Amino acid sequence: MRCAHAVVVSSCWQMCFRATAERADFLLNLNNIPFRQIAAPNLPSSPRVVRPSRSSLGSLSGLMTHIFPEIFVVRHGQTVWNAAGRHQGRLDSPLTAKGQRQAVAMAGMLRREIGNLEGVTAFSSPQGRSLNTARIATAGMGAPIKQDARLAEIAFGAWEGKTMREIRASWPELATLAEQDMVSWHFNAPEGEALLDIETRADSFLSSLREPAVIFIHGVLSRVLRARWLGLDEGGMMDLPGGQGIIFHLHPDHGHRVIEK
């Protein structure tokens, strides 16, 4: 398979990012972070694929010895609420024209990487934006799409349908938490899901895989799922690349890479 941009995960960079205002903006806009390469000091500047260490992972210790099958993680194309900056969570909005073009482009990427999906199972969140992306991206490949509720997006509770400006205005007390602990803030929406809830869903899904898979998914769950597959802690999870119109490829021998058209 072709090699593309790679992500190098570095604990020292994680500490540095948390200490900057730029890091704050990065985390507060979790769903729409574009791809960027993170390079560790004293490493070659040319892209490489690096398999993060599975040691000293704290709460992730249960996954340290588990090697999962190869997966291709595909976030849905842009939606109306993505464009408007609204949190979707368990609510839904349709793909925009740009989102549909992204799904078509990702179909080409998948064909280039794995042909007609022979020997690969296609899974999707049952939510409309993900399922419609999956249908467009796998059209003509003859592969059925298995819907799995464990792949639904994080429940944002009272924040669903709201912009960041509206959230800050209605829950000013959480602004302090956002400054102190960005990870905790994002998983503390009133009536929403906690990080542990999402990790449990991701673990259950990954443990059920028996062969390579293409997984059509959402922004937050994509990060959690990839972090659990890689054995990363919370800081490492937040340093993973995001974005739409690209595919994340995780392989037991080659680690994490980004596929672009």
The binding site for substrate consists of: 75-82, 129
Instruction: Please answer whether residues 142 and 116 qualify as being in contact, where contact means their C-beta atoms are separated by less than 8 angstroms.
Output: yes
Q: Give catalytic residues, as residue numbers.
A: 76, 153
Q: What is the DSSP string of 106-145?
A: HHHHHHHHHTT-TT-EEEE-SSHHHHHHHHHHTTTS---E
Q: What residues are designated binding site?
A: 75-82, 129
> For 169, phi and psi rounded to 5 degrees?
-70, -35
3-state secondary structure of 35: coil
Q: What is the DSSP string of 150-203?
A: GGSPPP-GGGTT-BHHHHHHH-THHHHHHHH-HHHHHT--TT---HHHHHHHHH
In this structure, what token pair is assigned to residue 242? 């995001």
Bridge partner list, 86: 163
> For 99, phi and psi rounded to 5 degrees?
-60, -35
